[in-house]
Each structure stands twice: as C-alpha cells, then as structure tokens.
C-alpha cells in the first residue's frame, strides 16, 4: 500500500508540474495540444491524469516546454493547502487519483531517474580522481 501511495504522489507531481511549467511559460492548453497534434480536450485529460501518459508523450511535452523530464518529478514546488469544510472534515487541497495503466510509465520514469543518478555518481568519482591527481 505504501508503494502505491508513492506511485500516486509521483503521478500527481508529474501532472501538477506539467501544468505549473506550462503556465510559467505562458502556454495555453490549446497551444500544447496543437504542438502535440491532439485535441485540447485530450491534452486536458493528460493534465488531469485521465489518460495513460507514455514516456514518449512525456518527452514530447518536455521538449515543447524546453525542460527535462526530471523537472516533472520535482515535488519541492508543490503548494498544497490544507482545508476544513463546514462540517469539520479535513482534506488535502487537491484530489489524488491514479489510473493503474500509468504504473508502467512511472516505473520507466523511476528507472530513468535512477540511471541519471548512477551516471552522476560516476561523474563525481571521475571528478574526484581528477582533483586528486592535480
């Protein structure tokens, strides 16, 4: 269950960050849809996690937004507001939802991130040896 919650959070982060970065760039959903050769309604469904998001589609979105896929994984910029309704029930400021078909996409994204981390570790070791030899 804990792993599933983590996957849900990752998908929420991805979709939230796509929308956040799109808004920062001043791009409309219609602009994004046109660049992706899909309808505006289909693009809205991507941001709302209503359709499967493939790695290829995620890369296309990253290219249009001129960013790296890893920017979509960044959860440090999420601004979640806690709220209380009139009946006193407690809720998060956004609804967490995940469509199971995105699980494979998440696994691929996690693998990409792990590969990048491994590459950076190798690069750090190389740079450390360069510093020691100088």
pLDDT tens by residue, the chain, 134 residues: 566 666 667 777 888 889 999 999 999 999 999 999 999 999 999 888 888 788 889 899 999 999 888 888 765 544 443 344 445 444 443 333 444 456 667 777 788 888 889 989 999 999 998 888 76
Instruction: Give the separation between CA 80 and CA 61, rounded to whole angstroms.
Output: 24
Q: Are 109 and 73 in contact (CB under 8 A)?
A: yes
Long-range CB contacts (within 8 A, 24+) of 40-47: 46/15, 46/18, 47/15, 47/18, 47/19, 47/22
Q: Where in the chain are the domains?
A: 2-133
The CATH number for 2-133, chosen from 1.10.260.40, 3.40.50.970, 3.30.70.260, 3.40.50.1460, is 1.10.260.40
Q: Are 49 and 15 in contact (CB under 8 A)?
A: yes
Q: Are 64 and 107 in contact (CB under 8 A)?
A: no
pTM: 0.55
């Amino acid at each position: 269950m804990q792993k599933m919650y983590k996957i849900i959070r990752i998908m929420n982060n991805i979709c939230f960050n796509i929308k956040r970065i799109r808004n920062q760039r001043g791009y409309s959903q219609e602009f994004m849809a046109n660049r992706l050769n899909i309808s505006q309604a289909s693009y809205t469904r991507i941001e709302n996690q209503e359709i499967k998001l493939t790695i290829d589609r995620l890369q296309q979105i990253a290219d249009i937004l001129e960013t790296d896929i890893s920017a979509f994984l960044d959860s440090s910029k999420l601004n979640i507001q806690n709220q209380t309704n009139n009946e006193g029930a407690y809720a998060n400021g956004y609804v967490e939802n995940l469509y199971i078909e995105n699980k494979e996409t998440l696994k691929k994204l996690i693998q990409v991130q792990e590969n990048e981390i491994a590459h950076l570790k190798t690069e750090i070791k190389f740079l450390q040896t360069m510093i020691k030899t100088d």
